[in-house]
Chains A and B, each alone.
Chain A
Amino acid sequence: MSALLALFLAAAGFIFWQGFGAEAAFGWMLLSAAIPWLFVLNMIPPMIWMERKGCAYIQDRVGPERAFIPGLGLRMAGLIHNLADVVKLVTKEELLPKHVNRTFYVAAPMLSMAVALLVGAVVPFCHELRFSDGFVFRAQALDLNVGLLWFLSMSSIGVYSVALAGWSSNNKYGQLGGLRASASMISYETVLGLSVATAFLVHGSTSLNDMVSGQYGTFLEVLPRWGICTMPVGFVLYMIAALAETNRSPFDLAEAESELVAGFHTEYGAFKFALFFMAEYVSIVVQSLIIVTIFLGGWQPLPWNLLHHDWLVEPANAALVLRWLLGATALGAGAFGLWCLKWHRTNRLRWKDSRKNEGIVLAMMLGFGPALAALLAVLLWGGPTSADGGVFTAAVVEFSALAGKTLFLCWVFVWIRWTVPRFRYDQLMHLAWKLLIPLGLVNLIGTAVLVKTGVI
């Protein structure tokens, strides 16, 4: 993580030093390799927090909020629990049970994390940056023309980590969990493939870049041309299959705690368990990124042709958009700061320790500070004037749009997990083979007919 951050900073420094253009090509290359991993890894703590708090609110509880940094008194509404978790998992004794198959037992969690990270390499994070000196930068680690197939193939490799973990544990519960995981993943991989095949038909390409730029414009005169409108059945199929692929409830039969203790990771503890845990969240984030890219317009900030990239890169337009965005940030952060102060006034007498100051600290740190900075930026800096400034602004706006949509979909994953009860194992298989796969085939043929007749 810190090595990645160092790589990111080094690349950014190199680019600054060489002056943003073609001379900094090496720095840009490093940057494109670091962006997806940094994004995905940095999403893990917010995801864990979202899961805990989301589940708590759905179950009408407060959720974790006790951990805090001594002295500062900051609890950040439970975010400090992540830090406590890391400290606990890292300092815990690394157990290696005697009855396991050592090589595979150690390799399985590594494989799960490696595969989860590799999958995200093909996601484009914004429109390619075309600088005025002709240099083109793609915010995408791997620009393959078979991008989506790469994603499918990597996620098919991901099965082995779960299967191996279950098998090498030499434990009946683990073994059953591994078997269930591999069976369900094989089944739902087919559903995933059928749904993605409709996207190939509609966009006429397997490259994720083409898919995003193909989603500009309108469909049936009024609807946006986003994938969710052109292939709604494909979207639903993909969502269901993605839940199964990430081993999330209602399809988390591989770790069904009411039947299998903890399923495939029964024998795992300390950081090896943490790796499985992190890999699960990484794959949720990556699946969300892919869903956004295929079905929700990717990095496009708004549907139809609103805020079209070609319009956004004009420095004057970029300056306008930036001013509005900064203004909105200032208002939002200021409102949050006021809310924190109000919360502090009602709650300050509830605790007798340093936590009673949390409201003030949060109001200053996350509320009034950023609000002031955004306000000053609006007032003192008129926005970009050069062509490259417009390119950068467009990239920032598009990246934020992608991140926002991804965050929302991550929340949907959490939401579904704590709302829908778990399937029984035979129901899971029946759903895949008797309902989803036939539906996917019909949908594929229907989409092909629609594409051929020119409706889509």
Chain B
Amino acid sequence: MADLAYAFSKRHLLGIEGLNRLDIEDLLNLGDRYVELNRRRVKRADILAGRTLLNLFFDNSTRTQSSFEIAGRRLGADVVTMQVATSSVKKGETLVDTAITLNAMKPDLLVIRHASSGAVKLLSRKVDCGVINAGDGSHEHPTQALLDALTIRRRLGDIGGLRVAICGDVLHSRVARSNVALLNILGAEVRLIAPRTLTPPGAAGWGASLFTDMRKGLEGCDVVMMLRLQQERMDGAYLPSAREFFHFYGLDDEKLACAKPGALIMHPGPMNRGVEIESGVADHKDRSLITEQVEMGVAIRMAVLERLAAAAPVTEPAP
């Protein structure tokens, strides 16, 4: 593929905030190429041969972690994954000490997931390699937003002008924050649908319109993105019950009918069937993009790894 005149030059991918339209389009274009590669029988590229990718997961995640692992391996990198239980970090060395220790092992790229907002940024200040945020608390999850955009683009073409609804627990969702930012950059109309207790303060200023009535919010939407609702939010603190949430905010055929005919269904996973999404809708043959999102996840992560590895500073001394 011909090189674009604009070169991606970011050292870290900490959030969608900080990216511009050209960065995003570059990553999506490259992602498209890796989708093709991933569908071949032999899925190898040697772009990262000899480079070390370190996956550092302070918070459990099966799918994001394996997605990054597969992406790294397919690019030929040496991939090491560390599951660090948050409790053991708390007991002994500080998070920063952990980062300094790992940095001394000279990884080229560091993928970090942490349960606290801002933790990935904190770590990125202490290391020399490129850092990819694989989700920090309720803050950002940029590769999720990129893979969502790639999924939509491959199905509907230009994202500009589309109407996209993001529904559910927006307050605690890093997926929502990253997606609102990215969809705005690409010119989509974004709607946030959530009960008031799960709507972040100041969300009206995010470049999205807010709805508490899901049926109204879904009117004319091309894409409906559902968010995962954590079990602990349903104990009466934020919501009275799972049953009541499903009644008003669970995506079923009846509510989906309020959206544009043929509207597409997305979910970042893992799903709570019967809580935020009804099984029949989740498994909708033509309209559910949920498994496609997983496929795009590997491709977009390969794109991100390639670009950041190229931008990473060369550590060996000049000859």
Question: Are chains A and B native binding partners rather than an unrelated pairing?
Answer: no
Chain A residues at the B interface, C-beta cutoff of 8 Å: none
